């Protein structure tokens, strides 16, 4: 069974093809990591799954709701709305919103007493937790995380990654985890897909794709990723 | 910026306060003047027709002998009332026209938007005249004419503001959560653009007032027997050769009222723009220094900003010839300011002090521009914004040689092409003639490095040169820097937030935290011998391609302090597992710890501190 | 055009840019012409009756209506109007009976001269002042000077041109007798109208130049220029100023357009024999064909100004040709 299914999705903006005939499956309860350079079409693909962009061709199928967490926690929360209200807004009608907000804040390791704070009072890492809580408020089966740690300080990034992994396991979520950082993708993903100029060039189990890449471009990416114990050779 | 403090802060500025007082006086006059002086303003006195100013009639009398001073006071109500009415109609119409495109179907939205775009090109006065013809001369015609003259610019403003808010992620997030278009507009968009709209409405009221006066003055606004300031002015102007007071009285009234609205709007706008300032930290005490220097010698460097903000607090390090040194630290730790300070690029109001700051054995402050311009190369983080978008790449490189090496234009351009080739930009001759926006990001960063090579650089300072680039391009740029160092024996100071990048390329690492260097050590000891709790925590918190996937990542609780938040004690203490009372009260100095290794930590000798 | 230029043009972003701008200009012009045409028909009641007065005999009204073609179907009238415009015909004045085109031909030069001269004064004064103030007050220096400059420019800009005109007349013409009160015969008579028209916009433009330049000075590429250790002169004039041009020119164009309209009021104060004094008289006398023609000329002037600004921008800032319309 799969939770999110992209079938031959193509997105064109004018003459520019941002996503080119992509088919990708996010299996139930698994994390699929999507890597690629900036401009390769990762975010556009994600946007088709939540209805922010309509595919020019092809279709996206989802069993249950899809929610999304954005890259920049400084822009993804309405500065004039308390974080509690932002979270509550995403809940279905008839929920006991106050209790639910408190539960969700607790779930992402934030003090429920802060529900009435404005985002300006929170640090980047805390905001990203609120954004996660908001995504969970819609009771989704699938969560798309688009570069959610790229705008964070490195010392804060680890905590958010741990939280993402815990929540995913605890709630049995399916996840599309987008990042340009191979190490981060490797850490959270069960499967990895590699995207280049709008196309998926390789997809498979994380261990296999990273240890034994088949596509030239994947090899290039792996070679370029900085490693601690290898020095950069100068020709 | 704190939006909530904005509203009353207007009254705290002198301009805001005085214009507010003026507005209150105007409103009071508008309410009470007709009640108090209505009779006097209407009283006809055939004995004193068309008189000049006198004690009885401060501004003289008109052709029916009515007192002009009282007429000016009484006309306040009609003048202000009509201006506000026109403003309200115009602003509301503009708001509707500007915001409905976001809820209309796309084709209808396009029609509305382009209609507004065409209308906004025409000046308000022209629109007002056009509508005055249609609605006929007279009060109602003029109100509608001015209202519709305001409408297009307000619609455009609303569109622009809405568009800028709509591009932000919180709108996308709300849409993903299933928030409807209408609620999106009322709950998320309008509250976030309300402030500039109100400010502009105030400014619009000022111009409506003067525009109204203009129409009445031309005889196509308020008609007799009603009168506003514009009409009084028009009547007075006919006699200006004989006595100026009857024209100047209403003129001054219009100017004052217009100013009150405009100044209040401007004051509110500047409060809206201004940001808050921070608090004080400890002063800097000079320390005697006799240590040996290098190519770049930095001792006890401080950078301060007004309000006691001190983002760089006593940084000391040395760069030797041909060395590649890395500086790591999270954003806000003072890396960029350190780089700018050592290269004499901090601008007013920032202030740089140091016990020693020397390049090539000479104080940087006294080094000639020619020397710095040719021997010290800078590479900045964002290659997209670091080139002048209006000039060709070749010219931007060439000017270094023209200014500092006395080369002619042609020779300098030739050298620029040569340097572009040296950083492996294909077809350098054609590329030199292109503008920055025609280059890709990686190519721009190479060109930036080529710019540094126009001289004979002994030191290249690269501040996050690869942060904005993709990994494959990042590697190429890092290799290029390493090659320059090898081929030209130039030293490189590489700043990065990514400890892995630095570990891969540099000989030595400086770790910065809260404006200080907290640890300095050779790169090959980084993963085995780091002693500062921050360094070791950072190494564990950042995953790399060999991280154990089954264990949770190590985390550092809390967040780095802002420069204004630094108090006494070790700035890492709130996040440090080893912190004790000494840590919380005394800040540790950077002490030598074995050869080539310096640490600023009270517990650097403790077993726990090192990597196990 | 040589082949090389053609090739260069084809490869560049200029062609689509020119096409977009041309389409926009023509659309706006069409909207303007249609609006001017509809103006007469939007007036409640019968424009001829309005113009001749209630006492006019019905057969005179009917004759005038027929002469103006007002009894034809709307589309036919529209066609006649458009084809007339192509032949340079703007209709006939209801009041004087002369062709509106002649009227405009007589009056237009004085207005254009006034607007252009005032605009030149604005540019020559405001740009250097704005640049100087930006350089002097950069990075929060000279707070007092900044406050004085900003507040005086706000005050000057808030005074509408016709009041400035009145003030100038009463002070410099009536009291001190330095310049003529009205007309455009003597060279001295140009001074006051030009001043009245130029002072406000000059204050606004100086402020805009300062703000824009300060914003540009905060850009990364200015830091690059400083890192190259270029002399201050080059940093400001070669690197900063051209990048402040886009916003300045855009606003400058809007200002020139507003000044074209501002002539209406100023001409009325100084009895300047231009279009501005004519249009007001025509509105009061309900001489609709004349109003229609003059509105058209003003509007076309504004559109032309905008077009010129866009083209100049395209030449100065290569990016503006790729920016979406
Ligand atoms: N002009 C300025 N005025 C006040 N504070 C500033 C200014 N520029 C930078 N800062 C502050 O100095 C600190 C260090 O900045 P920076 O050197 O850019 O850090 P890094 O490069 O390590 O990210 C930041 O917290 C920043 O807010
Ligand atoms: S001085 Fe104390 S608080 Fe600071 S890093 Fe060392 S142990 Fe931690
Ligand atoms: Mg930085």
Average pLDDT (A14-20) is 88
Instruction: Report the separation in Å between the CA atom of B468 and the middle of ligand 3, taken as the mean of its atom positions.
Output: 12
* Chain B residue with Cα closest to A131: B173
Same domain, B267 and B302: no
Beta strands B508-513 and B324-328: pairing type?
Answer: parallel
Residue B108 tokens read as 């209808």
Q: Are B555 and A125 in contact (CB < 8 Å)?
A: no
Chain B residues 386-405 with CB within 8 Å of chain C = 386-391, 399-400, 403-404
Phi, psi of B568 (to 5 degrees): -70, 165
Instruction: Report the separation in Å between the CA atom of B338 and the middle of ligand 1, taken as the mean of its atom positions.
Output: 10
Residue B70 tokens read as 């009282």
Residue A1 has a pLDDT of: 55
Looking up tokens 């590479």 gives: B379
- Measured distance CA(B551)–CA(B568) in Å, rounded: 36
Query: How distant, in Å, are the alpha carbons of B17, B263, B292, B543, C277 from that of B501?
Result: 54, 53, 29, 13, 72
Tell me how many domains chain B contains.
2
Same domain, B561 and B483: yes
* Chain C residue with Cα closest to B266: C154
Domain membership of residue A193 (yes or no) is: yes
Quick: pLDDT tens for B245-271: 888 888 889 888 988 888 888 777 777
- Measured distance CA(C1)–CA(C3) in Å, rounded: 7
DSSP symbol at B13:
S
- Contact between C301 and C15 under an 8 Å Cβ cutoff? The reply is no
Same domain, B258 and B300: no
Residue among B588, B511, B517, B515 at smallest CA distance from B309: B515
Residue B215 has a pLDDT of: 86
* pLDDT beyond 70 at C3: no
Q: Are B188 and A138 in contact (CB < 8 Å)?
A: no
The partner residue sitting opposite B555, judged by closest CB among A120, A162, A187, is A162
Q: Are B125 and C140 in contact (CB < 8 Å)?
A: no
Same domain, B232 and B302: no
Q: Burial, A92: exposed, middle or buried (Cβ in 10 Å; 0-12, 13-18, 19+)?
A: exposed
Quick: pLDDT tens for A162-174: 999 999 999 999 9
pTM > 0.90: yes or no = no
- Measured distance CA(C154)–CA(B13) in Å, rounded: 15
- Measured distance CA(C230)–CA(C226) in Å, rounded: 6
- Contact between B187 and B204 under an 8 Å Cβ cutoff? The reply is no
- Measured distance CA(C203)–CA(C154) in Å, rounded: 7
Give the number of other Cβ atoms within 10 Å of residue C248's Cβ. Answer: 22
- Measured distance CA(B436)–CA(B384) in Å, rounded: 8
Which residue, by CA, sits nearest to atom 4 of ligand 1? B305
Same domain, B162 and B269: yes
- Measured distance CA(B239)–CA(B246) in Å, rounded: 8
- Contact between B150 and B86 under an 8 Å Cβ cutoff? The reply is yes
Which residue, by CA, sits nearest to atom 1 of ligand 2? B601
Domain membership of residue A232 (yes or no) is: no
> What residues contact residue B578 under an 8 Å CB cut-off, 6+ apart?
B533, B603, B606, B608, B609
Q: Are B504 and A226 in contact (CB < 8 Å)?
A: yes
Domain membership of residue A137 (yes or no) is: yes
Final residue before a domain boundary, out of B273, B306, B338: B273
- Measured distance CA(C94)–CA(B257) in Å, rounded: 39
- Measured distance CA(A204)–CA(A194) in Å, rounded: 9
Helix intervals (H) in chain C? 3-11, 14-42, 47-52, 58-68, 74-86, 100-137, 143-158, 161-168, 191-217, 220-227, 232-234, 241-270, 275-284, 288-316
Q: Which residues of C touch B254 (CB under 8 A)?
A: 160, 163
ipTM greater than 0.90, yes or no?
no
Same domain, B134 and B226: yes
Domain membership of residue B417 (yes or no) is: yes
- Measured distance CA(A232)–CA(B505) in Å, rounded: 6
Residue among B270, B350, B365 at smallest CA distance from C141: B350
- Contact between C224 and C197 under an 8 Å Cβ cutoff? The reply is no
Residue A231 tokens read as 């020095």
Stronger pLDDT, B580 or C153, i.e. the higher one: B580
Residue B278 has a pLDDT of: 33
Residue among C256, C260, C234, C275 at smallest CA distance from C110: C275
Residue C321 has a pLDDT of: 62
Final residue before a domain boundary, out of B214, B241, B273: B273
Stronger pLDDT, A63 or B411, i.e. the higher one: B411
- Contact between A91 and A29 under an 8 Å Cβ cutoff? The reply is no
Q: How far is CA B140 from the centre of its chain?
A: 43
Same domain, B268 and B300: no
- Measured distance CA(B120)–CA(B153) in Å, rounded: 6
Cβ of residue B179 closer than 8 Å to a chain A Cβ: yes
Binned at pLDDT 50, 70 and 90, residue C318 comes out as: low
Domain membership of residue B3 (yes or no) is: no
Cβ of residue B537 closer than 8 Å to a chain A Cβ: yes
**H helices, E strands: number in chain A:** 8, 9
Query: How distant, in Å, are the alpha carbons of A150, A161, A182, B168, B555 from that of A147?
Result: 5, 11, 12, 16, 19
Instruction: Give pLDDT < 50 ranges for chain B.
Output: 1-6, 275-288, 290, 608-612
- Measured distance CA(A4)–CA(A65) in Å, rounded: 10
* Chain C residue with Cα closest to B434: C318
DSSP symbol at B453:
T
Domain membership of residue A229 (yes or no) is: no
Residue B447 has a pLDDT of: 94
Q: How far is CA A8 from the centre of its chain?
A: 21
Category of A147 on φ-ψ map: left (φ > 0), alpha (ψ -120 to 50) or beta: left
- Contact between B20 and A97 under an 8 Å Cβ cutoff? The reply is no
Domain membership of residue A15 (yes or no) is: yes
Domain membership of residue A231 (yes or no) is: no
Domain membership of residue B528 (yes or no) is: yes
Binned at pLDDT 50, 70 and 90, residue C4 comes out as: very low
Same domain, B161 and B269: yes
Q: What is the CATH number of the domain that holds B27?
A: 1.10.3720.10
- Full residue range of the structural domain in which residue B545 is found: 296-384+393-609
Binned at pLDDT 50, 70 and 90, residue C12 comes out as: low
Choose one of B535, B578, B580 to mutate for the ligand 2 pocket test, by most ligand atoms within 8 angstroms of C-beta.
B578
- Full residue range of the structural domain in which residue A19 is found: 2-224
Give the number of other Cβ atoms within 10 Å of residue B273's Cβ. Answer: 9
- Contact between C168 and B376 under an 8 Å Cβ cutoff? The reply is no
Q: What is the CATH number of the domain that holds B307?
A: 3.40.50.300
Largest pairwise CA distance in chain C = 83
Residue B377 has a pLDDT of: 94
Beta strands B351-353 and B296-305: pairing type?
Answer: antiparallel
- Measured distance CA(B534)–CA(B61) in Å, rounded: 83
DSSP states along B206-262:
HHHHHHHHHHHHHTSSS-TTS--HHHHHHHHHTTTTT-SHHHHHHHHHHHHHHHHHH
Binned at pLDDT 50, 70 and 90, residue C22 comes out as: confident
Instruction: Report the separation in Å between the CA atom of B155 and the middle of ligand 3, taken as the mean of its atom positions.
Output: 39
Stronger pLDDT, C92 or B394, i.e. the higher one: B394
Same domain, B406 and B509: yes
Average pLDDT (C1-8) is 39
Cβ of residue B181 closer than 8 Å to a chain A Cβ: no
Domain membership of residue B441 (yes or no) is: yes
Same domain, B188 and B333: no
Q: Which residues of C touch B348 (CB under 8 A)?
A: 138-141
Phi, psi of B491 (to 5 degrees): -80, 150
User: What is the H or E stretch that residue B496 is in?
Assistant: strand B491-496
Quick: pLDDT tens for B396-417: 999 999 999 999 999 999 999 9
Which residue, by CA, sits nearest to atom 26 of ligand 1? B332
Binned at pLDDT 50, 70 and 90, residue C1 comes out as: very low
Residue A84 has a pLDDT of: 93
Same domain, B326 and B182: no
Crossing angle between the packed helical segments C275-284 and C241-270, to the nearest 10 degrees: 50
Residue among C117, C249, C241 at smallest CA distance from C191: C117
Cβ of residue B405 closer than 8 Å to a chain A Cβ: no
- Measured distance CA(B229)–CA(B212) in Å, rounded: 9
Tell me how many domains chain A contains.
1
Ligand 2 closest atom vs CA B602:
1
Domain membership of residue B2 (yes or no) is: no
* pLDDT beyond 80 at A64: yes
Stronger pLDDT, B413 or C81, i.e. the higher one: B413
Q: What is the CATH number of the domain that holds A157?
A: 3.40.50.300
Give the number of other Cβ atoms within 10 Å of residue C70's Cβ. Answer: 16
Beta strands B491-496 and B459-463: pairing type?
Answer: parallel
Same domain, B188 and B97: yes
Q: How far is CA A5 from the centre of its chain?
A: 15
Cβ of residue B106 closer than 8 Å to a chain A Cβ: no
């Amino acid at each position: 069974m799969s939770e999110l299914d992209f079938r031959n999705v193509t997105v064109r903006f004018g003459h520019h093809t941002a996503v080119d005939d992509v088919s990708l499956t996010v299996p139930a309860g698994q994390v699929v990591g999507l890597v690629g350079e900036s401009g390769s079409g990762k975010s556009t693909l994600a946007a088709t799954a939540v209805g922010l962009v309509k595919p020019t061709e092809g279709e996206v199928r989802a069993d249950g709701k899809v929610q999304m967490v954005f890259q920049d926690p400084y822009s993804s929360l309405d500065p004039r709305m308390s974080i509690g209200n932002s979270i509550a807004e995403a809940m279905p009608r008839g929920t006991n919103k106050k209790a639910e907000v408190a539960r969700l804040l607790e779930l992402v390791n934030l003090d429920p007493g802060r529900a009435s704070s404005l985002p300006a009072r929170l640090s980047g890492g805390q905001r990203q937790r609120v954004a996660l809580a908001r995504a969970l408020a819609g009771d989704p089966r699938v969560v798309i995380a688009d570069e959610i740690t790229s705008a964070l300080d490195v010392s804060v990034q680890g905590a958010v990654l741990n939280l993402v992994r815990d929540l995913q396991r605890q709630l049995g979520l399916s996840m599309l985890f987008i990042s340009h950082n191979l190490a981060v993708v490797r850490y959270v993903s069960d499967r990895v897909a590699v995207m280049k100029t709008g196309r998926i060039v390789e997809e498979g189990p994380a261990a296999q794709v990273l240890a034994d890449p088949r596509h030239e471009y994947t090899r290039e990416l792996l070679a370029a990723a900085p490693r601690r114990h290898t020095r950069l050779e100068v020709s | 910026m704190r939006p909530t403090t904005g509203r009353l802060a207007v009254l705290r500025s002198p301009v805001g306060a005085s214009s507010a007082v003026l507005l209150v006086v105007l409103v009071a006059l508008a309410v009470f003047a007709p009640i108090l002086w209505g009779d006097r303003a209407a009283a006809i006195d055939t004995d004193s027709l068309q008189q000049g100013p006198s004690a009885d009639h401060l501004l003289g009398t008109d052709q029916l002998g009515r007192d002009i001073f009282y007429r000016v006071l009484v006309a306040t109500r009609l003048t202000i009332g009509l201006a506000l009415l026109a403003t309200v109609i115009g602003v509301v119409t503009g708001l509707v026209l500007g915001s409905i495109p976001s809820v209309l179907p796309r084709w209808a939205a396009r029609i509305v938007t382009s209609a507004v775009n065409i209308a906004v090109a025409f000046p308000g006065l022209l629109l007002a005249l056009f509508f005055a013809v249609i609605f006929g001369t007279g009060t109602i015609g003029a109100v509608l004419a001015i209202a519709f003259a305001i409408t297009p610019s307000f619609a455009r403003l609303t569109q622009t503001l809405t568009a800028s808010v709509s591009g932000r992620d919180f709108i996308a997030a709300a849409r993903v959560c299933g928030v409807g278009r209408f609620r999106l507009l009322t709950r998320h968009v309008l509250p976030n653009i309300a402030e500039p709209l109100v400010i502009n409405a105030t400014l619009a009221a000022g111009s409506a007032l003067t525009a109204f006066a203009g129409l009445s003055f031309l005889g196509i606004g308020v008609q007799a027997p009603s009168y506003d300031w514009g009409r009084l002015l028009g009547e007075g102007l006919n006699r200006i050769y004989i006595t100026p007071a009857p024209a100047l009285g209403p003129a001054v009234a219009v100017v004052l009222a217009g100013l009150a609205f405009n100044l209040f709007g401007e004051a509110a706008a500047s409060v809206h723009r201004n940001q808050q300032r921070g608090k004080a930290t400890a002063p800097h005490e000079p320390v005697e220094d006799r240590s040996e220097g290098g190519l770049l010698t930095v001792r006890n460097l401080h950078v301060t900003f007004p309000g006691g903000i001190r983002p760089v607090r006593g940084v000391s390090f040395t760069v030797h010839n041909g060395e590649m040194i890395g500086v790591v630290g999270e954003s806000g730790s003072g890396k960029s300011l350190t780089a700018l300070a050592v290269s004499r690029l901090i601008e007013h109001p920032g202030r740089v002090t140091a016990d020693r700051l020397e390049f090539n054995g000479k104080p940087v402050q006294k080094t000639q521009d020619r020397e710095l311009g040719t021997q010290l190369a800078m590479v900045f983080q964002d290659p997209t914004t670091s080139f002048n978008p209006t000039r060709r790449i070749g010219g931007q490189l060439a000017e270094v040689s023209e200014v500092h090496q006395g080369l002619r234009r042609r020779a300098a351009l030739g050298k620029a092409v040569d340097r572009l080739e040296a950083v492996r930009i294909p077809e350098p001759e054609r590329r030199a003639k292109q503008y920055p926006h025609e280059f890709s990001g990686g190519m721009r960063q190479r060109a930036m490095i080529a710019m540094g090579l126009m001289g004979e650089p002994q030191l290249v300072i690269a501040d996050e040169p690869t942060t904005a680039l993709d990994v494959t391009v990042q590697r190429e740029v890092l290799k290029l820097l390493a090659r320059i160092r090898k081929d030209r024996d130039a030293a490189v100071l590489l700043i990065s937030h990514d400890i892995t990048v630095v570990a891969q390329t540099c000989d030595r690492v400086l770790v910065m935290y809260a404006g200080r260097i907290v640890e300095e050590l050779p790169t090959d000891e980084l993963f085995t011998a780091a002693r500062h709790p921050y360094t070791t925590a950072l190494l564990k918190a950042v995953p790399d391609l060999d991280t154990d996937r089954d264990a949770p990542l190590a985390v550092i609780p809390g967040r780095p302090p802002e420069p204004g938040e630094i108090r006494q004690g070790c700035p890492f203490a709130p996040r440090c597992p080893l912190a004790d009372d000494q840590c919380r009260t005394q800040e540790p100095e950077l002490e030598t710890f074995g050869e080539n290794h310096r640490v600023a930590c009270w517990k650097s000798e403790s077993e726990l501190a090192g990597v196990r | 055009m040589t082949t090389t230029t053609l090739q260069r043009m084809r490869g560049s972003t200029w062609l689509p840019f020119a096409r977009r701008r041309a389409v926009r200009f023509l659309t706006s012009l069409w909207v303007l012409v249609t609006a001017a045409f509809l103006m007469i028909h939007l007036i409640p009641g019968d424009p001829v009756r309005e113009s001749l007065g209630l006492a006019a005999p019905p057969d005179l009204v009917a004759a005038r209506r027929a002469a103006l073609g007002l009894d034809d179907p709307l589309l036919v009238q529209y066609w006649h109007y458009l084809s007339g415009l192509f032949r340079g015909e703007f209709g006939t004045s209801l009041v004087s009976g002369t062709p509106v085109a002649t009227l405009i031909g007589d009056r237009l030069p004085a207005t254009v001269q006034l607007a252009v001269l005032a605009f030149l004064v604005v540019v020559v004064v405001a740009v250097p002042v704005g640049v100087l103030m930006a350089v002097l007050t950069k990075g929060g220096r000279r707070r007092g000077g900044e406050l004085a400059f900003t507040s005086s420019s706000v005050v000057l800009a808030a005074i509408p041109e016709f009041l400035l005109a009145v003030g100038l007349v009463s002070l410099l013409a009536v009291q001190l007798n330095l310049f003529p009160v009205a007309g455009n015969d003597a060279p001295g008579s140009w001074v006051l109208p030009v001043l009245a028209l130029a002072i406000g916009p000059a204050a606004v433009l100086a402020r805009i130049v300062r703000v824009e330049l300060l914003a540009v000075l905060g850009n990364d590429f200015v830091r690059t220029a400083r890192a190259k250790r270029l002399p201050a002169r080059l940093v400001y004039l070669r690197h900063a100023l051209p990048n402040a041009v886009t916003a300045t020119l855009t606003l400058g164009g809007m200002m020139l357009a507003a000044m074209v309209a501002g002539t209406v009021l100023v001409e009325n104060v100084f009895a300047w024999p231009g279009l501005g004094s004519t249009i007001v008289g025509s509105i009061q006398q309900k001489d609709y064909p004349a109003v229609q023609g003059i509105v058209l000329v003003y509007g076309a002037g504004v559109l032309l100004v905008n077009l010129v600004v866009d083209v100049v921008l395209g030449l100065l800032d290569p990016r503006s040709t790729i920016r979406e319309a």
